[in-house]
Amino acid sequence: MAAPAQPKKIVAPTVSQINAEFVTQLACKYWAPHIKKKSPFDIKVIEDIYEKEIVKSRFAIRKIMLLEFSQYLENYLWMNYSPEVSSKAYLMSICCMVNEKFRENVPAWEIFKKKPDHFPFFFKHILKAALAETDGEFSLHEQTVLLLFLDHCFNSLEVDLIRSQVQQLISLPMWMGLQLARLELELKKTPKLRKFWNLIKKNDEKMDPEAREQAYQERRFLSQLIQKFISVLKSVPLSEPVTMDKVHYCERFIELMIDLEALLPTRRWFNTILDDSHLLVHCYLSNLVHREEDGHLFSQLLDMLKFYTGFEINDQTGNALTENEMTTIHYDRITSLQRAAFAHFPELYDFALSNVAEVDTRESLVKFFGPLSSNTLHQVASYLCLLPTLPKNEDTTFDKEFLLELLVSRHERRISQIQQLNQMPLYPTEKIIWDENIVPTEYYSGEGCLALPKLNLQFLTLHDYLLRNFNLFRLESTYEIRQDIEDSVSRMKPWQSEYGGVVFGGWARMAQPIVAFTVVEVAKPNIGENWPTRVRADVTINLNVRDHIKDEWEGLRKHDVCFLITVRPTKPYGTKFDRRRPFIEQVGLVYVRGCEIQGMLDDKGRVIEDGPEPRPNLRGESRTFRVFLDPNQYQQDMTNTIQNGAEDVYETFNIIMRRKPKENNFKAVLETIRNLMNTDCVVPDWLHDIILGYGDPSSAHYSKMPNQIATLDFNDTFLSIEHLKASFPGHNVKVTVEDPALQIPPFRITFPVRSGKGKKRKDADVEDEDTEEAKTLIVEPHVIPNRGPYPYNQPKRNTIQFTHTQIEAIRAGMQPGLTMVVGPPGTGKTDVAVQIISNIYHNFPEQRTLIVTHSNQALNQLFEKIMALDIDERHLLRLGHGEEELETEKDFSRYGRVNYVLARRIELLEEVKRLQKSLGVPGDASYTCETAGYFFLYQVMSRWEEYISKVKNKGSTLPDVTEVSTFFPFHEYFANAPQPIFKGRSYEEDMEIAEGCFRHIKKIFTQLEEFRASELLRSGLDRSKYLLVKEAKIIAMTCTHAALKRHDLVKLGFKYDNILMEEAAQILEIETFIPLLLQNPQDGFSRLKRWIMIGDHHQLPPVIKNMAFQKYSNMEQSLFTRFVRVGVPTVDLDAQGRARASLCNLYNWRYKNLGNLPHVQLLPEFSTANAGLLYDFQLINVEDFQGVGESEPNPYFYQNLGEAEYVVALFMYMCLLGYPADKISILTTYNGQKHLIRDIINRRCGNNPLIGRPNKVTTVDRFQGQQNDYILLSLVRTRAVGHLRDVRRLVVAMSRARLGLYIFARVSLFQNCFELTPAFSQLTARPLHLHIIPTEPFPTTRKNGERPSHEVQIIKNMPQMANFVYNMYMHLIQTTHHYHQTLLQLPPAMVEEGEEVQNQETELETEEEAMTVQVDIIPSPTDTSCSRETPAFQTDTTPSQTETTASETGASSNPEAIPALSETTTTVAGAVSAPAEAYTPQDATSAPEGTK
């Protein structure tokens, strides 16, 4: 299997090259944003640029990239466009710029929206140009550019400006392009359309001739474009050379057709036009399909188009067609053909009289129609309205091959889509993994088109939605699997042994050689299937590895996926592996098959089950795993072995590879999607259309839901009545009680509910009355009933003063329907989520809520906050493997909850025992939950009822207060509560206390009744299932876990009513959809009532590693982002409390009215300046260091030594001033730079107790969702902006810091970038050299923005900063040393306690030891070769170990905490230096992680 050639990577030009370019010189003269005096507009400039720069370079991406980046479109082209100056070069230049914006994935239509006047004129000219003759004014290459532009227009229907133009091309009047007989047939099928058609005709007659001609041109545009394409296609020869321009034109045209067919608004009328043009028949018979090299992609695109033209949907209504309806349509087609044959063609009698199943295969249709003449075939086709009628005595102009294919392809039996899907193996094999056409390499430039489905705004049906996601998810997983296999297998270094076998010269953590492999079970197929129900095998490996790796292998869980690999290397022992050469031939890889772990076998050969019980200890190092193989794949392989005599794949495996658990959920997700496609996947009616992207996007908002709830208990949401009034501005608040002393929370609020779709009212007075009523809220304070006399009985209360937008989000979340909350950084998304959960829990105690997040970290944050609210912990359950990281002593996992229930049961039975004893009842009531229940019924209830009858109101007189206490039967039991229990102030108060005490007792027995099940169910597994299905009210899991366990959850009968999703904009579209369907529908309806999504689509999307899927297929678009694009109403949180107001300004331009919470202005930490630094944020320009800017040791593994050294020097400076190291994080935009910075820290200061390590050194993408006080950010790039051009990444980078942000970058590069202007204009307004105040200690009293009293020093470049830090460090060492010398010479009398000196001496000794070890950690100025060799003191450090927090290293950087330094301190003269010479950044620590 030859590996395909690696595609070339586009090399971005350097800043110096950019400046030298002709384009840049013109930009500086005419349109560059930073130029003050610009020359006037000159049309000749556009002509020159187009001819000399674009056409001459054959539309080279590099040239177009430069033009687009220089803001050519925004500041010159569109700004000056008008019909008078419009020309070919002008049109083409605009199209090139728009296409480039789409390629770069940046917003393209903003500039057109600002100046929309000339867009209709411009668009009409584009249409005209697209139909021009190819040998005329526009070349085929130029028309391909126009096709791409049109494709972008059709895919941007959410933009009003575009939609208004495109609509005219794809509405019903376009049927003018149909032949008359076909038009009549279609209008006859749908009588309603006839009425519309007549109306269109009438309107046309009223138009003036010129307008009518223009309208006719637009309506016929797509029909004419198809005809033009067919003529181009026919000009492609079979074997002679063909220009690639023709091939690219054909590919782009088919891509446009697919996109039109895959969207319902464009497909509705266009599908008939496409069918009438017989485009598919022309394509399948064309020469291009038969050209192996050039036609490969064209053929793949054609198959996609064929799939969509015959998609199972009613084009007019948009309803999905069932299997039966599709069969009926097929039968109707055949029978109409049979009727025509019977009536008019005697030679087809046999065909006409046969049954359908006998004649609807391709073979039988060719047998019947093949012998007929061309004219007869034409007549048959014209009877079916497929072709115009053939005039008498004339021969047909179509050739026979075309006519035969037309009839056969239209009437042959189609293969059921779902059947194909069910027979498909889910694991990729070696054939798919290394096929470049199916799984492109990471170097996808965005130039060509690919045969991949796209995820845009709308989908045809749920089946289409799931299928596109299924295909993309499968291919993206395959790409990651390919990377893992290549990494693991090449690490194992398979070589050919002397005897022809395999010998492994290396080792891999994630792969092991197989000792033995046997298939142990092949189960019988189900009825109607031809593949086994299951296939199991045993794999034996020898785990002679380090203990922690052995634990990882033994820790493989059920459902984990592994890969079985066969290698037959041909290279002799010792051959070096070259990562740049094709992988397969180097290692001799032959087969790859997937398998799923069932479990490890114990000594007796039984599978060890997962569970709460400890796993048995196995002796020796040999381990056997029982695995499930893919039955479909096994059946295909065995068939191939038996029929073709191929070798048995399953006898050849010699490597087993595992993958990281986090990345290994693909098989379960694919299986889940496939199961969903096989079931009637019931989405709630109120969500169905929104998910597909149709209808009214606000139809699921609570204000439009028919079951809106009028009165809601807001529980502890409001802190006071004033808070409540401030939370509903513009509303009239009526409180049911007048006394201000009683107006205290909790509050119940009654909202005015408008019934569904309001009636049209004509009376204005009624309207006014209605609005007045709609603004009135009725607020009823209520008292939570007393829960008992103990302090822990008091409910936990919310303490957060929510803003009015947060209250709106909470209110929307409590109402039924879809709630979307956009939460910018620091706006309290998690607090809102937790309050919604708590309020739903209290308002609807019978309902169950499912919480889904992207990461375990977010889930744990949510859980920690939920526990601080008034929610009974027995109702909480956390599924998945992340619960180990919960920072609480309590275990919320399934087995943790089982243990909690069992322990709680014992505690409660002890309480029952104490109660029994206090009441003097004999017997053993506390033996089981059951006996306790009887005790409550016969002993406790009877005493309580007797007590109530004694103390309750008798007639008109109130009973005496003392009676309440006197007759109380449980005094002895409550003796351990705070005394006195009864206050004796009033009858009502004491009676409420007595009832509270009884509630406390009753709750004990209620819980015991719930826990009875755990007495009846004996195994931990059964108990945990019971908890999940019956007991838990709030169940939390990650989206990955939901996809993995859907099958098990549905089987258990899992039920829930509400879903809350946190981090929704970071979850893949399909992983957001699956949690909606984790339960079986009830009576054909989903019981889902609420769906709350909280996220921020202005921050980073889900991670997609392959650029082709990310850019071309738009796979990175989350469902949350798509809903926002479609126009679903959102609640935008608008007050942040994380960062200083000045830092917030760097990113708040991206959000609607994002302001600051009051405490950001008031708290001292926000108003105080950053010690030792003049500014709270600064952009620091970093020029080339030793003539080098960015470097790229591996593809996409970018590093910048100058920036890395500068960042570390500033970090060390801050620590030396006294900043705590764990309050500083270092971020960068590339993995390569992250590794470089970690290395420099290890080398310069990592183990130095005066400095320590930063809290984190990581990438911006990895740090999303986290924050720190001070962020040092390195932007790395000096040639092209790279992926920071994605504004979402910029927003994340700018919003991580609370108090200080210092950015290191090449300013000349980033300040020109249009997308980044709002942030960089603020950054460049401040000096671009670092301003420091070295004599100002941390913390300072200086206010932010004040002039400092100390001297300000300006740092010009990195070497100056590094030398400065070195000198500062040496000075600190010497002064500290001198101070301790003096201290040790003081007489004991001057020290208050004699012990203190001793303590200091001991401290000194330990410090001496520490400092001796630290010698030469910070290289001296003489040590200029900070090469990548690991220093002697850290031989075992790996990159993963270096990402430790300052607290872990024990490093303290607070000056007060620096212990005494003794004489040995002077040995640390090998100290901080300017890394003045060569720092060689080759071989950057480890392979790129997922190179950004």
Is a pLDDT exceeding 70 seen at residue 1014? yes
| End-to-end Cα separation, the chain, in angstroms | 30
Residue 321 has pLDDT above 80, yes or no: yes
Residue with more model confidence, 213 or 1391? 213
Q: How far is CA 1255 from the centre of its chain?
A: 26
Distance, C-alpha 702 to centroid of its chain = 26
State mean pLDDT over 841-855. 93
Strand order in the sheet with 747-750: 711-713, 747-750, 776-781, 732-735
- Give the chain's largest Cα–Cα span: 132
CA atoms within 13 A of residue 277's CA, in its CB half-sphere: 24
Pick from 947, 965, 908: nearest CA to 931: 908
- Mean pLDDT lowest among 412-421, 1003-1012, 1055-1064, 1382-1391: 1382-1391
The arithmetic mean of pLDDT across residues 83-88, rounded, is 91
pLDDT band at 189 (very low <50, low <70, confident <90, very high): confident
Predicted local confidence at residue 860, as pLDDT: 83
Residues written for the chain: 1492
Q: Which of 1489, 839, 822, 1483 is nearest to 1150 (CA)?
A: 822
The overall average pLDDT reported for the chain is 85
The letter for the amino acid at 1394 is G
Give the pLDDT confidence score for residue 889 in this predicted structure: 60
- At residue 1489 the predicted structure's pLDDT band, cuts being 50, 70 and 90, is very low
- Provide the pLDDT for residue 1411: 39
Calculate the dihedral angle through the C-alpha atoms of 857, 858, 862, 865, rounding to the nearest 10 degrees: 60
Token digits for 366?
């060719």
Q: Which residues does 1260 contact at the CB level (< 8 Å), separation at least 6?
A: 1227, 1228, 1229, 1273, 1289, 1292, 1293, 1296
Confidence band for 1094, pLDDT divided at 50, 70 and 90? very high
Given a cut of 90, is residue 317 above it in pLDDT?
A: no
User: Per-residue pLDDT tens for 764-782?
Assistant: 444 455 566 678 999 999 8
pLDDT of 512 > 90? The answer is yes
pLDDT in the model for residue 1386: 62
Q: Give yes or no for a contact between 1327 and 1173, defined as CB atoms under 8 angstroms apart.
A: no
Q: What is the pLDDT of residue 772?
A: 67
**pLDDT for 764:** 45
Tokens of 164: 């208004």
Quickly count: other Cβ atoms within 10 Å of residue 1450's Cβ.
Answer: 10
Report pLDDT for 21. Answer: 67
Is residue 11 pLDDT above 70, yes or no?
no
Distance separating alpha carbons of residues 830 and 823, to the nearest angstrom: 9
For the ranges 697-701, 890-894, 903-907, which has the lowest average pLDDT?
Answer: 890-894
Listed range (276-285, 364-373, 856-865) with the worst mean pLDDT: 856-865
Q: Which residue has the higher pLDDT, 1454 or 1301?
A: 1301
Q: What pLDDT does residue 611 have?
A: 66
Contacts of 1326 (CB under 8 A, 6+ apart): 1175, 1177, 1178, 1179
Assign 65 a pLDDT band (cuts: 50, 70, 90).
confident
- 1403-1425 pLDDT, tens digit each: 434 443 433 333 344 444 334 33
Confidence of residue 1440 (pLDDT cuts 50, 70, 90): very low
Q: Return all residues near 1236 (Cβ < 8 A) that are at least 6 apart.
A: 1199, 1200, 1201, 1204, 1481, 1484, 1485
* 671: pLDDT strictly greater than 90: no
* pLDDT at residue 124 greater than cutoff 60: yes
| 862 confidence band (pLDDT: 50, 70, 90) | confident
Q: Which amino acid is at 894?
A: R
pLDDT band at 1031 (very low <50, low <70, confident <90, very high): confident
Please indicate whether residue 1453 or residue 723 has the higher confidence score (pLDDT).
Answer: 723
The one-letter amino acid at 699: S
For residues 623 and 648, the answer to whether their CB atoms sit within 8 Å is: no
Tell me the pLDDT tens digit for each residue of 401-421. Answer: 999 999 999 999 888 778 888
- Confidence at residue 10, expressed as pLDDT on a 0 to 100 scale: 53
What is the reported pLDDT for 442? 67
Residue 315 to residue 306: CA distance in whole angstroms: 15
1469 pLDDT higher than 50: no
Instruction: Please tell me the predicted confidence (pLDDT) of residue 199.
Output: 92
CA gyration radius, the chain: 37
Residues paired with 564 in a beta bridge: 593, 656
**What SS3 state is found at 237?**
coil
Cβ atoms of 32 and 70 closer than 8 Å: yes
Q: Over pLDDT 90: what percentage of the chain? A: 50
Residues in contact with 364: Cβ distance below 8 Å, sequence separation at least 6, in sequence order: 358
Give pLDDT, residue 1428: 38
DSSP H helical segments within 278-348, as ranges? Answer: 279-284, 287-290, 296-309, 323-344
pLDDT of 701 above 90: yes
pLDDT at 983: 87
| Between residues 27 and 651, the one the model is more confident about | 651
Strands 589-600, 817-822: parallel, antiparallel or unpaired by DSSP?
Answer: unpaired
Q: Of 505-519, 1219-1233, 1275-1289, which gets the smallest average pLDDT?
A: 1275-1289
Better pLDDT: 317 or 148:
148
The CB-based long-range contact list for 157-161 (8 Å cut-off, 24+ gap) reads 157/263, 157/265, 157/266, 157/457, 158/457, 158/1125, 158/1126, 158/1127, 159/109, 159/113, 161/109, 161/112, 161/113, 161/116, 161/119
Say what the pTM is.
0.85
The DSSP output letter for 314 is -
pLDDT band at 1426 (very low <50, low <70, confident <90, very high): very low
**Each residue's pLDDT tens digit, 937-946:** 999 999 999 9
Instruction: Answer whether residue 930 shows pLDDT above 70.
Output: yes
- Over residues 174-203, mean pLDDT: 90
Mean pLDDT of 1390-1401: 41
Q: Please check whether residue 298 is in contact with residue 247, taking contact to mean a CB–CB distance below 8 angstroms.
A: yes
- Contact (CB, 8 A) for 1182 and 1306: yes
> With bands split at pLDDT 50, 70 and 90, how would you rate the model's confidence at 1433?
very low
| pLDDT band of 1080, cuts 50, 70, 90 | confident
Closest residue by Cα to residue 95 from 124, 71, 118, 126: 126
pLDDT(9) > 90: no
List, for residues 612-639, the tens digit of each pLDDT value.
Answer: 667 788 888 999 999 999 999 999 999 9
Tell me the mean pLDDT in the region 96-122. Answer: 91
Q: What is the mean pLDDT of residues 1430-1459?
A: 36
The pLDDT of 362-382, averaged and rounded, is 91
Place of tokens 């496409």: 274
pLDDT score for 449? 85
